[in-house]
Chain A
Amino acid sequence: MSADHGVASTKIYFREANVRALREEMRQNPRVLILGQDVGAFGGSYREFDGLYREFGAARVRDTPVAEAASIGIGVGAAASGFRPLVCITYMDFLMLGFDPLINYAAKLRYKTGGLLTAPVVVKTTAGAFGQGVAHSQCLEAWLMSVPGLKVVAPSTPADAYGLMKTALRSDGPVVYIDHKRLFPIPGEVPDAETFIPFGQAVVRKPGSDVTVATHGFMVRIALEAALILEGEGVSAEVIDLRSLAPLDINTVAQSVSKTGALVTLEEGQTTCGVGAEVAARLYECMGMRPWARIGALPAPVSSNPVLEAATIPDAARVVTAIHLLLGQ
């Protein structure tokens, strides 16, 4: 336990942040359930459900067969009937198997019933490259951002993993909660007091004055790494962690860009119709055109080959180069 700015906190891993949020919510509300592959006694592929099966039993922590479409559908149906299920989809790449219940049903349920029914379901999944190949590495969050009625969050710290999960489990509509595989080994301080992080609030991770980098998930760490290099070269980059992609907090980005005058968007997914393209478009809608560079994966699948994987996804060197180019240096 430690005290940062007077707030008592404890250093824990992402998986422990997930467990803590779920344990608190499951103790508080008997209608919170977990469904997914290997979530029971095994404790989840990343041990992100460790101990919950023991405490809450097989009825509330349910192993499912390999059946993503039905698992999401069952979670959604139970949600529409008054429960609050979390459905774990091990890899984001498999989320598309369950798009019908998630996108055609859950995201539209409140709207299509005129407010009569809602689907308070959380679909938890993991994104990102970690040596597992073309169908286990994708960051598809931008696909989800265009669905009316769907909320999308992606933490970059254990504190946000805890606080965003807490909010997700109390949210009245479907939420896709995205962990990043490469964040799992990185611990962080989480407040000891119960905390909710509201959706739609970005946060400045590092203040700066020359350029704004808007990013999310694991790429926040790449942006901070790049900012450190740039600092040594006399360029001050402000790093914004979006945290919540839908709803998107464009005001925090706009405030930053009105100060720095330039925007770099950074994501691990594709740039075409990507998170960055949306951030830039909304920014320009509210404050007019500003210099902008977008960085994301190269337009290729993400191979398990370590050389090709590293060549595909952004690293700090690419970010530094892009910022120099943008600033005309």
Chain B
Amino acid sequence: MNSIESLRLMMLIRAFETALAKRPDHGFQLLSSGEEAVAVGLSAALTDKDQLLTGGRSIGPALARGAEPGAVMAELLGRVAGPNRGRGGRGHMADPESGFFGAHAVVGGNISIAAGVALAKQMAGDGGIVAVLFGDGACGAGVLHETLNISACWRLPLLFICNNNQLSVSTARTAALAPAKLSDLGAAFGMWTRTVDGLDVACVAAAATEAAGHVREGRGPAFLECVSVRLLSHSTTARETRSRATLTELRAQCPIRRQVAYLQSSGYLEIAQAEALEREAADRVAEAMAFADASPYPEASEVLDHVG
């Protein structure tokens, strides 16, 4: 993935989530403004054989993996054209065909599931790896520690990616988690670990590619921490707890703005091109929205389908 492509994808995610949040019928969403570089950088390291699992902040990662924006929008709005007929929603959507095995909205919940998917890959010998993306909030959960241990013992092809946006709803990472670096959690189990600037998409992509290479070679799991920022409140219904001044300061760190500035200053991107990319993102989102709107809700009579 080249640097323009990364920018295109980050812009798509931002435009997609912004348009979604504007809909009165958007329901309950966790958005990823400020965290796009983590999803996009990680995806640059993954192949068609790989699977990604995430927590509930799943929209950006699913789009970054290549899930169809129209289908994702349909899923989020509860329409049958979603990959899960609108039943999973943001918290639980799954599109394994696109390499997005799925979200599980219980914090930390998908980490052990991902290790099981990795065990299946190891036993099947299909050459693929599994990445599991979780927030700093999940680093306090016991199942992470259990899974780090087992996956290290079994040398599972599993890449732990912590998107450390430094806040768990309102609780600061510094107040909740003792390790100096969250990647130290992986170091305790002898893993390849690194902490990188999660606002720099090229930096995330380079580190994720190195980590994925390590995992792919059968050298056991790796733990990559990407330090990002959350530009919005925890969810579309959660109160914002930070001051306006803090938020203004954070917005200046926006990974998309940063990538645009970098590309312009390096001469890779004209201002007009950047504007064209933004328009392109807006157009793709409008198409996705139209696709979702054309799809109906499921019939109430389907409620007992696929229970067990």
Contact = CB atoms under 8 A, between A and B. Distances in A.
A112 B83 CA distance: 10
A70 B143 contact: yes
A70 B146 contact: yes
Given A80-B113, A83-B120, A69 B306 contact: no
Contacts of B82: 114
A291 to B, nearest CB: 33
Given A77-B115, A110-B307, A116 B143 contact: no
Q: Name B's interface SS.
A: helix
B65 interface: no
Contacts of B114: 77
Nearest to B91: A112
A111 interface: yes
A328 to B, nearest CB: 41
Contact of A114 (B104, B121, B306): B306
B84 A114 contact: yes
A73 B306 contact: no
Contacts of A235: none
A46 interface: no
Nearest to B120: A81
B19 interface: no
Contact of B115 (A59, A70, A116): A70
Interface string B102-120: 1010100111111111111
Contacts of A146: none
B109 A117 contact: no
A64 interface: yes
Contact of B308 (A64, A65, A81, A151): A151
A63 to B, nearest CB: 10
B88 A74 contact: no
Interface string A53-85: 000000100101101011111111111111101
Interface in B106-155: 106, 109-121, 123-124, 142-143, 146-147, 149-150, 153-154
10 contacts: A69-B143, A71-B112, A73-B143, A81-B116, A82-B120, A82-B124, A83-B123, A101-B113, A112-B87, A151-B308
